[in-house]
Amino acid sequence: MAYRITLIPGDGTGPELIAATRRVLEATGVTFDWDVREAGADVMDKYGTPLPDTVLDSIRANKVALKGPITTPVGTGFRSVNVAIRKALDLYANVRPARTMQGIPVCHDNVDVVVVRENTEGLYAGIEHDVIPNEAAESIRIITRRGSERIVRFAFQYARANGRRLVTAVHKANILKATDGLYLRVAREVAEQYPDIEFNDRIVDNMCMQLVQRPREYDVLVLPNLFGDIVSDLASGLVGGLGVAPGANFGEELAVFEPVHGSAPKYTGMNKVNPTANILSGALMLRHLGELEAAKRVENAVAAVVAEGKNVTYDLKPTRDDPTAVGTSQMADAIIAAI
């Protein structure tokens, strides 16, 4: 039976990446009934909103979505569609594995960390306003016991289910005593309920330095929203960059799979960017659907193509202007051939 999945191509480079991902997933032999839904900057004129209600209704009905990146105007314009989807569907846990792959030059081998980012509160609650226009503005950072407890519990459950040894809670409780003080207290309480998993905590600035210098000492990181966003990109940089960093958003019942990276708009329509992050997000989706063998085949095929280093995009070549770099769709072809 075909899996009915909401498919959101997004905008910028999103449609090219989703086209490549779709072909790779279909090459596994698993069958899909794609429910394609438009969202993003390109549909503003057509629907009067970048996030039509029908997109959310489709995800609610199908329970699973695969998504390309969506552009958010900087400093002005409509609010982030990506954040709106996560909040509207209460997809509170953003899971972003970062693992080194053979063939990608990195500073440290054998890095394998998973960033678990709280997705619904913190500074992304979006409660901000001008105090005096053009002179002063303020933003309110929401941290709740409920939000902290469920994200830390998610991190421990994830660690248990995936044979992980350590959960590190990342915070700024020395300065943000009320908000991150609460987050850290709750994290310590939850940790006591998981004596089989080691627990420690790090202040976020120190965490960044430690990840750059000694990333192998870390395993599962659990962070409030903004710190999780920043540390996700740092973690992707440890393993080859945004082009290879997959992600997933989970709620109690619903799941949306999307790469860590954004829409890389300067490369739109150029068949240039790396489809790996989106394809590996698709592999995470296959795991979620229980299609473990198909997921493994996709991951192995990606690993083989990356290790060979021939049919890969510009970002995985020794220099950014390497003339032997292939395009998005050609890298997907190579992955399909490897499957």
Catalytic residue among 3, 67, 87, 124: 124
Catalytic residue among 11, 229, 315, 333: 229
3-state secondary structure of 339: coil
Q: Residue of minimal CB distance from ligand NAD?
A: 262
172 is catalytic: yes
**Of 70 and 98, which has the nearer Cβ to ligand NAD?**
70
Q: Which stretch binds ligand NAD (CB under 6 A): 130-138, 180-188, 201-209, 270-278?
A: 270-278
Residues in 294-323 that interact with ligand NAD by CB under 6 A:
315
Q: Which stretch binds ligand NAD (CB under 6 A): 118-126, 172-180, 257-265, 299-307?
A: 257-265
Q: Tell me the closest approach of the beta carbon of residue 338 to ligand NAD, in angstroms.
A: 19
With CB under 6 A as the contact rule, the residue among 263, 291, 303, 311 that binds ligand NAD is: 263
229 is catalytic: yes
Q: Tell me the closest approach of the beta carbon of residue 207 to ligand NAD, in angstroms.
A: 20
Q: Tell me the closest approach of the beta carbon of residue 249 to ligand NAD, in angstroms.
A: 9
Q: Find out whether 187 and 201 touch, Cβ atoms under 8 Å.
A: yes
Q: Tell me the closest approach of the beta carbon of residue 166 to ligand NAD, in angstroms.
A: 27
Q: Assess 71 for contact with ligand NAD (CB under 6 A).
A: yes
Q: Which stretch binds ligand NAD (CB under 6 A): 53-61, 64-72, 166-174, 210-218?
A: 64-72
- Return the sign of the alpha-carbon dihedral for residues 79, 50, 256, 248: negative
Q: Find out whether 260 and 99 touch, Cβ atoms under 8 Å.
A: no
Q: Find out whether 51 and 79 touch, Cβ atoms under 8 Å.
A: no
Q: Find out whether 41 and 50 touch, Cβ atoms under 8 Å.
A: yes
**Of 23 and 210, which has the nearer Cβ to ligand NAD?**
23
Residue 101 amino acid letter: M
Q: Tell me the closest approach of the beta carbon of residue 82 to ligand NAD, in angstroms.
A: 4
130 is catalytic: no
**Of 86 and 164, which has the nearer Cβ to ligand NAD?**
86
DSSP state of 33: E
- State the SS3 of 283-331: HHHHHHCCCHHHHHHHHHHHHHHHHHCCCCCHHHCCCCCCCCCCCHHHH
| 268 Cβ neighbours under 8 A, 6+ residues apart | 11, 12, 13
Residue 12 amino acid letter: G
Q: Find out whether 210 and 154 touch, Cβ atoms under 8 Å.
A: no
Q: Tell me the closest approach of the beta carbon of residue 95 to ligand NAD, in angstroms.
A: 13
Q: Which stretch binds ligand NAD (CB under 6 A): 49-57, 201-209, 219-227, 262-270?
A: 262-270
Q: Assess 70 for contact with ligand NAD (CB under 6 A).
A: yes
Q: Find out whether 172 and 180 touch, Cβ atoms under 8 Å.
A: yes
| 158 Cβ neighbours under 8 A, 6+ residues apart | 95, 114, 116, 164, 220
Q: Assess 171 for contact with ligand NAD (CB under 6 A).
A: no
- Return the sign of the alpha-carbon dihedral for residues 223, 184, 180, 170: negative
205 is catalytic: yes
Q: Summarize as ranges the residues that interact with ligand NAD (CB under 6 A).
A: 69-72, 82, 242-243, 258, 261-265, 273-274, 277, 315
Which positions are annotated as active-site residues? 124, 172, 205, 229
